[in-house]
């Protein structure tokens, strides 16, 4: 049993590792680690289920530092409990090039960091996905294999960000009882007291969303322990408001914004050592304190070994499936079912919107890949994201299903999908209108930054959505998503390309995929079955010409049909045009220079896309032309809009003739 003195010394080890690292770097946030050291010490020594020797153990508790600016709190904990990736040299090189101890926790930099945090609110929102992932996997494999908690430390900034409300509401509605948020209630933000900008009662806010709420002294270890113990017994998510002093121990700056985002300074740091009775030099930990922390890190070995015994006792097939899902491998038979479907649509040649084509291929994929968990931000019927095999996931009905009704929470949905992907065992996809990627953008960026396989089904992809008008017509969105590193954007032009786009999305293990899908019906242009995936090349000749190429027409999505029509008109006038479908710039750019040159050819080029023309000069060259949008859309039926804005076969023919 830890005494008050032992607890204080263990907590002070966190405080001074953190403050000393910030001081050495001359950059960082010492206040939060110093203020939350007591809470973190109780959590890691009394409750958190983890094993530093097996950091990716599937049934470990997840700890998410939503207040990512206080990253040294996490790095200190990982160092003290024995994670190999965080030795003392990493602590000494905080915020330096090449270190694992980045300014904010970065997923993939070192074992023990569960998710990238820093943009405030993202951590608590991602945690909803972690907690939901645990419930989904628990429903399939039972308590013996999946039974863990998700703990979050969140600050005032996390709760001020709008995404936090989406997350809190969603978690409360879904009764994610294994989600426990420890609120660092220090009343300080960068500008000063939080009273400068807010007066809301966060405890009432959580209560209104269906959470269990407690308020405690965040520097009282007995109170912290009792509160966490109670939180683990509730049938709702829990929030514990921990009243703390930012920069605890700093003699003149403690409790003020001066400790938030700047080093304490040598004099203040020396004063903190004196005040808290810490006599060790920077980066030195007394032997008894280090031993106590080492013991805290070692206590999870028994849990890990016991879990291993239970896991080995599973039915062999169930065990194999669990391992496959945790490793992110797809079932072996999915490709056979997929190819059979592609043969069928190549033969049937349906004329459907690509959002409907997406639904049709999802019918095949969700049957073959049970870990696919779909959803929509209250646009299920418009996004076509739910299939016949997917029952809803609900608190009352259970977590066995495969579909999530996210409600009108685009940002919360995107962040939760990141959490689902990071938790493991789940392949998440979710939909909304393409224009609302603006509401999802910070979470999409984190999907890309963390290399997570998340599929964003973004429908109503151009001015072609028609009568809803310019507020709902995406113009600049695809261009902006194409500009985001490690995001694969695919805008398919027919049912076959849509199927191939899905195959690319679910096999993309290094980043997110955005599928931009139409509202309006499109004919099937690919009428000859090929087993190879042409969308995987990003661009290809979809309609060749006889004789020497005189002009190349490049299009994506719904405009490929227009380009094929223009090709026929040019042929009638004696001009040989080739149509290139370019559904994914990113995939095309990854091809060899020889392939790209062969596809684009040396003839003049004209591109057409019912979106912003931004970026197309890369493919048409200095002498080429681009037909597209130069402003916002308007409210009218799609055919009227295309005619009004000059996105037509006639305009394409005219532009081509001017170049030939």
Known catalytic residues are: 410
What string of DSSP letters covers 312-375?
HTS-HHHHHHHHHHHHTPPPTTHHHHHHHHHHHHHHH---EEHHHHHHHHHHHHHHH-TTEEEE
DSSP 632: -
With 0-12 / 13-18 / 19 or more C-beta atoms within 10 angstroms meaning exposed / middle / buried, residue 608 is buried
Q: How many CA atoms lie within 13 A of 220 on its CB side?
A: 10
Closest CA to 95 of 84, 86, 104, 85: 104
With 0-12 / 13-18 / 19 or more C-beta atoms within 10 angstroms meaning exposed / middle / buried, residue 464 is buried
Assigned token pair, 217: 């002294």
- What is the three-class DSSP state of 41? helix
- Decide if 118 contacts 68 (C-beta within 8 A): yes
With 0-12 / 13-18 / 19 or more C-beta atoms within 10 angstroms meaning exposed / middle / buried, residue 602 is exposed
Backbone dihedral region for residue 612 (phi beyond 0: left; psi -120 to 50: alpha; all else: beta): beta
- What is the three-class DSSP state of 264? coil
Q: Give the span between the Cα atoms of 477 and 441, in whole angstroms.
A: 10
DSSP 248: T
DSSP 111: T
Q: How many CA atoms lie within 13 A of 628 on its CB side?
A: 27
- Decide if 543 contacts 537 (C-beta within 8 A): no
Backbone dihedral region for residue 29 (phi beyond 0: left; psi -120 to 50: alpha; all else: beta): beta
Helical pair 71-81 and 31-42, crossing angle rounded to 10 deg: 40
Q: Give the span between the Cα atoms of 360 and 120, in whole angstroms.
A: 38
Q: Report CA dihedral (614, 620, 622, 628) to the nearest 10 degrees.
A: -40
């Amino acid at each position: 049993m830890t005494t008050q003195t032992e607890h204080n010394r263990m907590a002070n080890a966190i405080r001074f590792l953190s403050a000393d690292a910030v001081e050495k770097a001359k950059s960082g946030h010492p206040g939060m680690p110093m203020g939350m050291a007591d809470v973190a010490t109780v959590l890691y020594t009394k409750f958190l289920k983890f094993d530093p020797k097996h950091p990716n153990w599937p049934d470990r508790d997840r700890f998410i530092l939503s207040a990512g600016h206080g990253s040294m709190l996490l790095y200190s904990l990982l160092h003290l409990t024995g994670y190999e990736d965080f030795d003392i040299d990493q602590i000494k090189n905080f915020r330096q090039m090449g270190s694992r101890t980045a300014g904010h926790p970065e997923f993939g930099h070192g074992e023990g960091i569960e998710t990238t945090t820093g943009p405030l609110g993202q951590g608590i929102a991602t945690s909803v996905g972690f907690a939901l992932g645990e419930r989904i996997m628990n429903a399939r494999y039972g308590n013996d294999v999946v039974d863990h908690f998700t703990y979050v430390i969140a600050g005032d900034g996390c709760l001020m960000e709008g995404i936090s409300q989406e997350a809190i509401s969603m978690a409360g509605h879904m009764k994610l009882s294994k989600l426990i948020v420890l609120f660092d209630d220090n009343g300080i933000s960068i500008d000063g007291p939080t009273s400068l900008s807010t007066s809301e009662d966060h405890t009432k806010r959580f209560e209104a969303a269906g959470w269990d709420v407690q308020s405690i002294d965040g520097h009282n270890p007995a109170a912290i322990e009792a509160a966490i113990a109670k939180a683990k017994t509730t049938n709702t998510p829990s929030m514990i408001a921990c009243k703390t002093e930012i920069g605890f121990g700093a003699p003149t700056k403690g409790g003020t914004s001066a400790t938030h985002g700047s080093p304490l300074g040598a004099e203040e740091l020396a004063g903190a050592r004196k005040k808290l009775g810490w006599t060790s030099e920077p980066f030195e930990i007394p032997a008894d304190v280090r031993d106590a922390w080492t013991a805290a890190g070692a206590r999870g070995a028994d849990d890990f070994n016991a879990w291993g015994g239970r896991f080995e006792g599973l039915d062999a097939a169930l065990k194999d499936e669990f391992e496959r899902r945790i490793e992110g491998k797809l079932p072996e038979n999915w490709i056979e079912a997929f190819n059979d479907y592609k043969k069928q649509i190549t033969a049937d040649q349906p004329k459907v919107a690509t959002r409907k084509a997406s639904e049709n291929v999802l019918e095949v994929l969700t049957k073959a890949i049970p870990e696919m968990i779909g959803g929509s931000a209250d646009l299920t019927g418009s996004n076509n994201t739910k299939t016949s095999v997917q029952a809803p996931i609900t608190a009352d009905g259970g977590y066995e299903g495969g579909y999530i009704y996210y409600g009108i929470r685009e940002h919360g949905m995107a962040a939760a999908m990141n959490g689902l992907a990071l938790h493991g065992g789940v392949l998440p996809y979710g939909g909304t209108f393409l224009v609302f990627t603006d509401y999802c953008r910070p979470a999409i960026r984190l999907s890309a930054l963390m290399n997570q396989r998340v599929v964003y089904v973004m429908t109503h992809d151009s001015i072609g959505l028609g009568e809803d008008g310019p507020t709902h017509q995406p113009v600049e969105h695809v261009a902006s998503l194409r500009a985001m590193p490690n995001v694969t954007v695919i805008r398919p032009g027919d049912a076959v390309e849509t199927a191939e786009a899905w195959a690319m999305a679910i096999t993309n293990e290094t980043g997110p995929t955005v599928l931009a899908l139409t509202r309006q019906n499109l004919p099937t242009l690919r009428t000859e079955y090929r087993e190879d995936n042409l969308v995987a090349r990003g661009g290809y000749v979809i309609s060749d010409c006889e004789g020497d190429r005189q002009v190349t027409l490049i299009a994506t999505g719904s405009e490929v049909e227009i380009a094929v029509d223009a090709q026929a008109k040019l042929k009638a006038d004696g001009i040989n045009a080739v149509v290139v479908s370019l559904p994914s710039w990113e995939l095309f750019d990854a091809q060899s220079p020889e392939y790209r040159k062969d596809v684009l050819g040396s003839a003049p080029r004209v591109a057409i896309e019912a979106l912003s023309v931004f970026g197309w000069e890369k493919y048409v060259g200095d002498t080429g032309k681009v037909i597209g949008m130069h402003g916002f859309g308007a409210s009218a039926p799609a055919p009227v809009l295309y005619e009004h804005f000059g996105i037509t076969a006639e305009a394409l023919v005219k532009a081509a003739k001017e170049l030939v």
